[in-house]
Amino acid sequence: MSEEKGSFSGKVGFVLAAAGSAVGLGNIWRFPYLAANQGGGIYILTYVILVVFVGFALSLTETALGRRTGKSTLKAFGALDRKSGWMGVLPALVPAIILPYYSVVGGWVVKYLGSYLTFNGAELISDSFFGSFISSPYSPLIGFALFFVVTSVIVSFGVQKGIEKASRFMMPILVVLCIGVAIYTLTLPGAMEGMKYLFVPNFSQFSFKTLFSAMSQMFYSLSLAMGIMVTYGTYMKKDVKMDTAIAQVAVFDTAIAILAAVMVVPGVFVFSGGNPEALNKGAGLMFVTLPKVFASIPGGDFVGILFFVLVLFAALTSSISLMEAIISELMEIKQMSRRKACVIVSIYSLALGSLASLGFGPLSFIKLVGFTIFDFMDFASNNVMMPVAALIICIFTAWIIKPETFIDEVKLSSTFKVQKIYSVVIKYVAPVLILLVLITSVMEGLGLISY
Ligand code: PHE
């Protein structure tokens, strides 16, 4: 290796960086609208149960794989079992697909924040703003490039001086902003109706759809099945209690997702006079509906600034982890210096991200299996590659090297009281659920079933 592998300074450094990866657009943008249009309380309950029983085990497995082998995804599998080296290829590729288009969305956040900061928040509230902004040729590229350059500069400073330091700075601010904005939206008249919808589970609304969509959201939100936790695991010192660290990350991530739902859903509820249709906006909820909510409340522009700063921080700490997963692979396989790897990944991501961004406008004639470039990258990574990668990781752990290998790794520094449950989850519960998610999400993406 051409450069010393870095490490986090200790448990807090690991937890903040890993939580930084986990807490992202998935929590603040995706979770609230999923919770809103999938029955509210029942969705949140299902999600929490899945995190406790499945997400924790999977996240622990990936981290243990990294710490045990000291290798990033591409080599980690082969290091434990020579014949299984190929299993690392898919999870190692996922971040390279997600990073460019994730940064495009990061760029939209930059634009929105910029508008609020320059007192132009009013432009965001027209119905057509979002659509015409993302399909214009240049303006989304500026935000995207800015977002990406910041990501890349932080990563170029390395594990402790770059990633850990940035997470130590941004994560506490993010938590404070989240709590502040949530308290604010709760004071709006009528907000309690929204809260009731969010937190009182209505069991008649439960369906397999609830289960599967909560499951795939959980993967995305905990940054699983894409080599990130493996990479961060290699930076975790052996004396850090891995099980409690991972539990803290999972709790952190889930708490922020629920807080985000508290920030977004009651506001929209109040704004729309309790009409659940308004919550069915899907992806547009954050970029289309929320600015209108902010415009309708006193001091809304200021809340808009706080909100988009927090979204920006959440997105940045996630894109950092995506980039780091790729950088660590390059440093390991190609013996490349961190700096050189950063330059190469930057050129690649700027090129691919620009294509994804232009795919909404000038390049919208390009269709891949019926998808725009952006949607294709999203579909290929989230609906196909991630579930397959997760399945591979489960099979590898359960049936090839046996869960005991990782149980031993965890036990280096903790008693690991839940090891029996861990084995059962990794052998049976997780693979079955993942397989079902894979089948339904591919069918859904191809329009064979509708969600
Ligand atoms: N977990 C992040 C989120 O919730 C998203 C993410 C996906 C981060 C992939 C890194 C990698 O938004």
Distance 189 CA to ligand 1 centre (A): 33
Q: Which atom of ligand 1 is nearest to the CA of 314?
A: 12
Evaluate whether 14 touches 209 at the Cβ level (below 8 Å): no
Residue 373 maps to a domain: yes
Assess whether the C-beta atom of 372 lies below 6 angstroms from ligand 1.
Answer: no
Residue range of the domain that includes 258: 11-445
Residue 6 maps to a domain: no
Regions of the chain short of the pLDDT cut 70: 1-4, 274-283, 450-451
Residue 102 maps to a domain: yes
* pLDDT at residue number 1: 41
Distance 102 CA to ligand 1 centre (A): 9
**CATH number of the domain that 37 lies in?**
1.10.4160
Assess whether the C-beta atom of 26 lies below 6 angstroms from ligand 1.
Answer: yes
Distance 190 CA to ligand 1 centre (A): 32
Evaluate whether 329 touches 76 at the Cβ level (below 8 Å): no
**Residue recorded with tokens 């932080």:** 154
* pLDDT at residue number 42: 94
Nearest CA, atom 9, ligand 1: 223
Assess whether the C-beta atom of 134 lies below 6 angstroms from ligand 1.
Answer: no
Which residues, including other chains, have CB under 8 Å from residue 413's CB and lie 6 or more apart?
238, 239, 240, 241, 242
Nearest CA, atom 8, ligand 1: 318
Distance 273 CA to ligand 1 centre (A): 32
Evaluate whether 75 touches 5 at the Cβ level (below 8 Å): no
Q: How far apart are CA 272 and CA 38, in angstroms?
A: 18
* pLDDT at residue number 273: 72
* pLDDT at residue number 283: 64
Split into its structural domains, the chain has a count of: 1
Per-residue pLDDT of 30-61, as tens digits, reads 898 888 878 889 999 999 999 999 999 999 99
Distance 228 CA to ligand 1 centre (A): 9
* pLDDT at residue number 274: 67
* pLDDT at residue number 358: 95
Assess whether the C-beta atom of 318 lies below 6 angstroms from ligand 1.
Answer: yes
**Residue recorded with tokens 């993302």:** 134
Ligand 1 probe mutation, 108, 155, 216, 221, most atoms within 8 A of CB: 221
Residue 283 maps to a domain: yes
Assess whether the C-beta atom of 27 lies below 6 angstroms from ligand 1.
Answer: yes
Structure tokens, 160: 């402790």
Residue 266 maps to a domain: yes
Assess whether the C-beta atom of 21 lies below 6 angstroms from ligand 1.
Answer: yes
**Phi, psi of 157, rounded to the nearest 5 degrees:** -80, -5
* pLDDT at residue number 4: 59
Residue 451 maps to a domain: no
Among 341, 286, 343, CA closest to 312? 286
Distance 432 CA to ligand 1 centre (A): 23
Evaluate whether 324 touches 338 at the Cβ level (below 8 Å): no
Residue 1 maps to a domain: no
Assess whether the C-beta atom of 98 lies below 6 angstroms from ligand 1.
Answer: yes
Evaluate whether 80 touches 69 at the Cβ level (below 8 Å): yes
Per-residue pLDDT of 423-451, as tens digits, reads 999 999 999 999 998 888 888 878 787 65
Residue 245 maps to a domain: yes
* pLDDT at residue number 2: 40
**Residue recorded with tokens 């294709």:** 376
Q: How far apart are CA 108 and CA 103, in angstroms?
A: 9
